[in-house]
Structure 1
Amino acid sequence: MDRWQAMRMFVKVAETESFAATARHMRMSAPVVTRTIAALEDAIGARLFVRTTRSVKLTEAGSRYFDDCRRILADLAEAEAAAAGSYATPSGTLTVTASALFGRMHVLPIVTEYLDAYPAMSARTFFIDRPVNIIEEGIDVAVRIGRLPDSGFTAIKVGSVRRVICGAPAYFERHGIPTTPTDLKDHRIAASTSAWASPEWRFADDQRVLLHPTLSCNTNDAAIATALSGWGLTRVLHYQVGPALLEGRLRIVLSEHEEPPLPIHVLHPEGRHAPAKVRAFIDLAVARLRANRLLN
């Protein structure tokens, strides 16, 4: 048994809680992964996982071994990379994820600037409006909006975004301006179901208003386009309408009733052991996002 390979396999199973996902990631068959973990348990003399038909969980001994293995493998990777020079010069492929619209508007320009700065690099973007398993999907860097669960990943706060209600000046001229959240019941609402599936909108001081949107749109872009046309009001994250706000094509209302802003973080799983390609991108992304006045 290749002990280094077995340790890498063990760590991946622990992170993904799946033999099948580990097999896909390491491009081998699931039976090979199962046999390797069993052989590792025999060699150590301890059970590392509790297996059921639905889950794979670390035992107490497995948890201790997992921490040691991650440290040992990280030190080994750092030594190998340092010898090869990859910790000094970015090389390879960088994979970055973010939500779809935020990624297109604010992350993609950073990615292309990064590629211009490091010609030896290539990049893959994964912009999608659903949670992404960073480890299982092989993500190097994630830009996340919202409060983060405990994960052990390195997270750097770069800004914040507000949930805002907005409409076109022409709409307010015809229909007036709502002054309290309950006034929204008397206005046309174009709701984006992709971001606000609940008909109950929440505000500061635990205020809640149950709304029945006149128009439900399955994308933020459609809801925003409807507001821009002067047909009704919509509620989105303020970065999504930043240019229209700056140009005066949309106006925010009820700002004094908004919930606290949502934080934006740049997230990566490798901590101080991150290779040069990740560290260089994070340095650039943090600087650009913190300088973006729409995100602060």
Structure 2
Amino acid sequence: MDRWQAMRIAVKVADSGSFAQAARQLHLSPAAITRAVSALEDQLRARLFVRTTRSVKLTDAGSRYVEDCRRILADIDEAEAAAGGLHATPSGTLTLTAPILFGQMVVLPILHDYLAAYPAMRGRTLFLDRPVNLLEEDIDVAVRIGHLPDSGFTAIQVGSVRRVVCGAPAYFSRHGTPATPADLKDHRLIAPTGAWASSEWRFAGNQRITTDPWLQCNTNDVAIATALAGAGLTRVLHYQIGPALQAGQLQIVLAGFEEPALPIHVLYPEGRRASAKVKAFVDMAVTQLRAHPLLR
């Protein structure tokens, strides 16, 4: 096996933390991955990985070597891409992830515009209400809501979203309007139970209430539909009820007690070495998201 492929395997094992996972991603057998790493360690006369039955971890020498491999492989990719014109014209498949409702309502129209602008491109979406590992899932671009952990990826903030309490006008006419968060104990609360949901609703000034939901819903769209029917109050992200707000079907309450808005970022791994397909989508997404009226 040539040196370039051996370096590529070492980086993939380090990123995935698993010989088996690296084998799947590189379309090789686990035995081939093991042999390649062992041969590389023999050639370098240094141990790169500490292997146990449950995990694979880099040694100090391995950490230094893998970082050097990343730089060298990136330079090779850059040279090949420049020679083949990859960085001039977007082509291939763009894989994109975002939260489900945000993906459907906000990101998908941008992807449609992108595919229309670049006919050689194909798209693939992975809309999930949980964080996705960009490297393990081979994701090109992610749109994330909330504060980001340190990852080494390039992140561009494109807006923010509020977490709001809302209900239908018919509900307020029957049950009144809460004036403070403490008043919510006297109202029917509809609580989403999906990712990032909590039984504790937090407000500005460190005010918190522990909800006793009249109805628990496993998805935000079901909670919103129940609120639209006038059955109770729910707490969701502002963009999720944008059309209903504009139509007067829902109203926001307790706006003066809201926590600071959550940031929205476009996130991608390659940084300045990103391919043309990624750069073109990121440029389009940043422009459209920053202009979106519900993300300010």
Q: 1:110 & 1:197 partners in 2: Cα distance? A: 27
Structure 1 distance, partners of 2:208, 2:243, is: 29
Residues 1:177 and 2:177 aligned together: yes
| Cα deviation digits, residues 22-54 of structure 1 (max 9, x gap) | 111111111111111111111111111122222
Following TM superposition, by how much is the alpha carbon of 1:197 offset from its aligned partner in structure 2, in angstroms? 3.9
Runs of 4+ in 1 over 4 A off after TM superposition: none
What secondary structure, in the 3-state scheme, does the structure 1 residue paired with 2:216 have? strand
- Report the secondary structure of 2:69's partner residue: helix
Q: Counterparts of 1:247 and 1:121 in 2: how far apart (Å)? A: 36
Aligned residue for 1:293, secondary structure, equals coil
Cross-structure match for 1:72: 72
Return the alpha-carbon distance in structure 1 between the equivalents of residues 118 and 198 of structure 2: 44
Which structure 1 residue ranges, 5 or more long, are not aligned?
none
Matches for 1:143-222 after TM superposition, within 5 Å: 143-195=143-195, 197-222=197-222
Amino acid at match of 1:294: L
Alpha-carbon distance in 2 for matches of 1:4, 1:119: 33
Asked whether 1:284 is paired with 2:264, we answer: no
Which amino acid is the alignment partner of residue 278 of structure 1? Answer: V
C-alpha distance in 1, partners of 2:196/2:39?
Answer: 49
Distance 2:119 2:46 in 1: 48
The more displaced of 183-192 and 45-54 is 45-54
What's the CA shift string for 1:239-295, capped at 9, x where partnerless? 100111122211111111111111100000001110100000000000000000101
SS, match of residue 294 in structure 1? coil
Structure 2 residue aligned with 1:137:
137
TM-score (norm 2): 0.98
CA contact (8 A) 1:87 1:275 kept: yes
Counterpart-to-counterpart distance in 1, 2:147 and 2:246: 27
Amino acid at match of 1:286: V
Partner of 1:271: 271
Identity of aligned residues (%): 70
The offset of 1:132, in angstroms, is 0.8
Instruction: Write out per-residue CA displacement over residues 84-106 of structure 1, whole angstroms, 9 at most, x where no aligned residue.
Output: 11110001111001011100111
Q: What residue is the counterpart of 1:244 in the other structure?
A: 244
Q: TM-score, normalised by structure 1?
A: 0.98
Tell me by how many angstroms 1:231 deviates.
1.0
Structure 2 gaps of 5+ residues are none
In the alignment of these two chains, the number of paired residues is 296
- Separation in 1, partners of 2:261, 2:51: 41
Aligned equivalents of 1:207, 1:274: Cα separation in 2: 43
Per the TM alignment, residue 198 of structure 1 is displaced from its structure 2 partner at its CA by 2.5
Show CA shifts across 1:134-160 (max 9, x none). Answer: 001110000011111111000000011
Q: Within 2, Cα distance between the matches of 1:238 and 1:52? A: 46
